[in-house]
Amino acid sequence: MTMSTGLTEGLTPADSSSLREMVYHRLRDEILNGRISPRERLTEPKLGKAYEVSRTPVREALSRLLSDGLVERTDFGYAVVVPSLEDLRNLYELRITLELRGIGRAIENPQVRHDEAALTAELERWVEMRDTPPEPDPSFVVKDEGFHQVLSRSSGNAQLTDALVTVNQKIRAVRMHDFVEEGRVTATIDEHMEILRLVIARELPDALIALHKHVGESLEVVMERATQAMTRMALAG
């Protein structure tokens, strides 16, 4: 811990605050992007060594992440929170509601217009990805979330998008394991392109159906997928 102590010696209050923010945001980013396994032990000495800081900013970062609901206390320190199946059911149900609402509000109110430029740029990104599809990998979930975020934001309700981002972050630890199966990545790419084309063409009822099918027409199907993902997580732990 000599190096860690040296980095924090003589820091001004402003420097200390900046250091706390750095540790918090770096640790939060690693959790939300799936770079920390739910089975990994998170302790102050271990994290202090990894980030080359003293225990104090690590302790404060973990406290904030605990309040955020991203980590939980364990016998050995902290661990990344994995929602229970009951919580997943509720979160997935909320996710579906939020996903569909972006298009639903445009159907109900013709004055609500999606941001065509943003959707066209997003479509180009997925067309390029279709031509050179990535290999199945849990990190693909971040690209998938990006699509849904752009689609939601393009409908013009920032609060709706913020709520969707929060829900997706809470279920990411499980959803990321949905993209390790053969064909899931390519199927997702094709579905994203179809949804974008329908929204751009203002074929909103068809777009709503396509999006509903994409996120899961049946909550039970989604739960089955989540259960399988959690099983894979346990086996890979």
3-class DSSP assignment, residue 79:
strand
Angle between helices 204-215 and 85-108 (to 10 degrees): 170
235 with 37: CB under 8 angstroms? no
Q: Which segment of 38-47, 111-120, 220-229 scores lowest on mean pLDDT?
A: 220-229
What does the pLDDT average to over 26-49? Answer: 85
pLDDT at 237 (0 to 100): 52
Q: How far is CA 77 from the centre of its chain?
A: 24
What confidence tens digit (pLDDT) does each residue in 162-199 have?
999 999 888 887 777 777 776 888 999 999 999 999 99
% of residues, the chain, pLDDT over 90: 52
Highest CATH level, class, for 2-80: mainly alpha
Report the mean per-residue pLDDT for the chain: 85
Please indicate whether residue 131 or residue 82 has the higher confidence score (pLDDT).
131
Q: Indicate whether 7 pLDDT > 50.
A: no
Q: How far is CA 50 from the centre of its chain?
A: 24
Please indicate whether residue 98 or residue 175 has the higher confidence score (pLDDT).
98
What confidence tens digit (pLDDT) does each residue in 132-167 have?
989 888 778 889 999 999 999 999 999 999 999 999
Q: Model's pTM, two decimal places?
A: 0.71
Fold match, 2-80 / 85-236: no
Please indicate whether residue 37 or residue 108 has the higher confidence score (pLDDT).
108
Highest CATH level, class, for 85-236: mainly alpha
Place of tokens 């996120």: 215
Task: Map out the domains of the chain as residue ranges.
Answer: 2-80, 85-236
